[in-house]
Chain A
Amino acid sequence: MDLKQLCEIHAPAGEEKRIRKALLAEARSLCGEENVRIDRMGNVLCFKKGREPGKPHVCVSAHMDEVGFIIMGATEDGLLRFRPIGSIDPRVVVSKRILVGEDLVPGVIGAMAIHLQSAADRERVLDYDGLFIDIGAKSKDEALGKCPAGTYAYFDTPYMTFGDGFVCAKALDDRVGCYTILELLKDSYPCDVTFAFVTLEEGGMRGSQGAAFAIQPDIAINLEGTAANDLGNVDSQFQVCCPGQGVAVSFMDKSSISQRRLFQKMLAIARENDVPHQVKRGVTGSNDAANYQRAASGALTCVLSVPCRYIHSGASVCCLSDVDAQIQLTRAFLNNV
């Protein structure tokens, strides 16, 4: 399964069934039916027995869910009220094509035309109370008949490659991590490895809480897509990481501090194996590493991320060479642990 297929599957947090089905089929064929299971949180856990005894048990985790929307209701004239699932800047959703529900009802998020806006309107950022999904319905009943409250909605963005190895797609956070795990499932390693595809990361890191407690690894490597801010007018100190400069290794973020020696070992392995890498230059973002670090008696953790511009939008951008670097570095780590 390639990155395009993974990104185009619609699976916001809480509605991961489609991506889970796809990952489950791939995982079963790559590491054997008996080694793959689904837990009560809907996480897919795949166990690979190590070739050598006495090595630490490593967990490699990525989240399968993405950001999206959920329908709350409708106006009398048939516009759908909605809220984001996960954090999405309301400024990036205006004028976007949206698909709603199982039947992929097409829609668009609209806003007042610029001609009609007062000077005050132009200064104001519309919040979700002022934004609607227009599915062409003429009444509340028609709109809710097709898309009742609780229906999920998705960015309708095709996967696109452009420039020198760049990709634009929705859900790069964290289908890049899922793709890396699928590639890693093709090999065996000296140590026992549990590969985890977890649910509900967006909006609260909830799926990994159960997975971490069930797995209780010695070491957890969390694979992510993380926010790159290398935009035209941003000072170096706020850029965090840059697409094309390799996999980003985190020393700390908002939810965990990587174990110092593990962080240093990761950098050493990257250097020894000529894997393009960068140290993530910021402490932004929270992710599942927090849960692996702090489940039960605790684990050593480190986060390896693919830098993604415009993350948590319908059009995030990453560099395929960084995905490749994420695969290489994780593989080299598993072979050298």
Chain B
Amino acid sequence: MLRDTLKTLLSAWGPSGNEHAVAEAIKALVAPHVDDMHVDALGNLIVQKYGSDENGKRIAFSAHMDHIGFVVTDIDENGFLRVNNVGGINQSISNARHVLFENGTEGVLYCQPAKGETPAMKHLFIDIGAESRTDAEQNVQIGDMAVYAPDCFEIGANRIASPAMDDRCACALLCELLMYLDEPKNTVIGIFSTQEEVGLRGSHVAAYSVAPDIGVGLDVTAWGDTPEVKLPSVQLGKGAAVKFIDRSMIASPSVRDALLKAAEDAGVPAQREVLPFGGQDGASLQHTRAGVPAGCLSIPCRYVHSPVEVIDMRDMESALRILLQFIENA
């Protein structure tokens, strides 16, 4: 079940550069359904399901396992941890948050600018209840990372909120896709990538080693359906979004149109996404080696890069149907 798979993956701890727990959870889910799995130098989990037609295409889908977090850069004499962001952290929503380290150490992230100062990364600290530097060092070292504590709750009939929705929802989608595929004629490669949030770093090398014929990034995209938000026009619950353009790529027309056609053939709704910012793994696939036709299918997500990223499960269902049809059509 898509919902169960999603919840399993949302509970895994994994900021950029430390995605191994997510990879282990995914391996356990997809192992019975793929022919080949390996982890590369950057920690990307790359799985393959061979196609029945030896002249079939090699289609790669990439979803990133990491999410944004914080790295400890200093521990002061009173045991407070100073941090830097890992990926795109918005200071104004990082105040008064529950955070979690890999070893289970919990803490409170707090932002305390001096009077009149604009909140900045330098005003953030984590309180882990330590009373001195030595006390803090029992549990946390400089260089350790923390994330918004894993959480997951349902709002309304179809929607789920979690700090790791970007991009575990697409990881869940890719896992389900591999589970549903029944003897495809084309070979399907799943790249569960690392370090997307710090600049598409994992998918950059995975794309090179996989060298697919067609590439599709799977990621969340920003929303346009809450008060005060005017751009982009994508809405929750209106179907997965076929990307036309973002800051990292202009989708290859052949892939973009094939995704739109797949939605039509499958009889599910899809939206057209034109994003004036952002980037995703599809760009790595498109730009590797001598170039690969590539696109991106997005899950509309509200409050991206916050501890309460919200998606609509109907869009996940739409995405799954589109991708199955897309592989069938290719």
Residues of A within 8 A of B (CB): 218, 236-238, 251-252, 256-257, 259-260, 263, 279, 281-283, 293-300
B186 to chain A minimum Cβ distance, whole angstroms, is: 23
A28 to B16, CA, bound (A): 41
Do B143 and A263 have beta carbons less than 8 Å apart?
Answer: yes
Residues of A within 8 A of B76 (CB): 236-237
Q: How many residues of B contact A (CB 8 A)?
A: 27
A216 to B98, CA, bound (A): 41
Q: Does B52 contact A (CB under 8 A)?
A: no
A-B contact pairs, 26 of them (CB 8 A): A236-B74, A237-B73, A238-B122, A251-B71, A251-B143, A252-B71, A257-B16, A257-B86, A257-B201, A260-B18, A263-B143, A279-B141, A279-B142, A281-B74, A283-B71, A283-B73, A293-B42, A293-B201, A293-B205, A294-B204, A296-B205, A297-B40, A297-B205, A297-B208, A298-B40, A299-B41
Residues of A within 8 A of B141 (CB): 279
A281 to chain B minimum Cβ distance, whole angstroms, is: 5
Residues of A within 8 A of B73 (CB): 237, 281-283
A282 to B74, CA, bound (A): 8
Do A257 and B195 have beta carbons less than 8 Å apart?
Answer: yes
A251 to B17, CA, bound (A): 10
A279 to B144, CA, bound (A): 11
Q: Does B324 contact A (CB under 8 A)?
A: no
Residues of A within 8 A of B195 (CB): 257
Q: Does B94 contact A (CB under 8 A)?
A: no
A329 to chain B minimum Cβ distance, whole angstroms, is: 16
Residues of B within 8 A of A (CB): 16-18, 40-44, 71, 73-74, 76, 82, 84, 86, 122, 141-143, 195, 198, 201, 204-206, 208-209
B62 to chain A minimum Cβ distance, whole angstroms, is: 14
Specify the chain A residue showing the minimal Cβ separation from B210. Answer: A297
B85 to chain A minimum Cβ distance, whole angstroms, is: 9
Q: Which one, A237, A257, A279, A300, contacts B41 given CB within 8 A?
A: A300
Specify the chain B residue showing the minimal Cβ separation from A279. Answer: B142
Do B82 and A237 have beta carbons less than 8 Å apart?
Answer: yes
Do B205 and A298 have beta carbons less than 8 Å apart?
Answer: yes
B24 to chain A minimum Cβ distance, whole angstroms, is: 14
Specify the chain B residue showing the minimal Cβ separation from A255. Answer: B199
A104 to B323, CA, bound (A): 65
B20 to chain A minimum Cβ distance, whole angstroms, is: 8
Do A297 and B84 have beta carbons less than 8 Å apart?
Answer: no
Residues of B within 8 A of A263 (CB): 143
A217 to chain B minimum Cβ distance, whole angstroms, is: 10
- 8 closest A-B pairs by beta carbon, nearest first, are A251-B143, A298-B205, A257-B17, A297-B209, A298-B41, A237-B74, A237-B82, A298-B42
Residues of B within 8 A of A299 (CB): 41
Do A294 and B84 have beta carbons less than 8 Å apart?
Answer: no
A259 to B18, CA, bound (A): 9
B117 to chain A minimum Cβ distance, whole angstroms, is: 14
Residues of A within 8 A of B71 (CB): 251-252, 283
Residues of A within 8 A of B198 (CB): 257
Residues of A within 8 A of B206 (CB): 298
Known: A237-B82, A252-B143, A279-B142. A297 touches B18 (CB 8 A): no
A140 to B268, CA, bound (A): 71
A218 to B205, CA, bound (A): 13
Do A283 and B205 have beta carbons less than 8 Å apart?
Answer: no
Residues of A within 8 A of B40 (CB): 297-298
B202 to chain A minimum Cβ distance, whole angstroms, is: 8
A259 to B17, CA, bound (A): 7
A253 to chain B minimum Cβ distance, whole angstroms, is: 10
Do A296 and B208 have beta carbons less than 8 Å apart?
Answer: yes
A297 to B16, CA, bound (A): 18
A251 to B143, CA, bound (A): 6
Residues of B within 8 A of A218 (CB): 41
Residues of A within 8 A of B17 (CB): 252, 257, 259-260
A237 to B40, CA, bound (A): 34
A283 to B70, CA, bound (A): 11
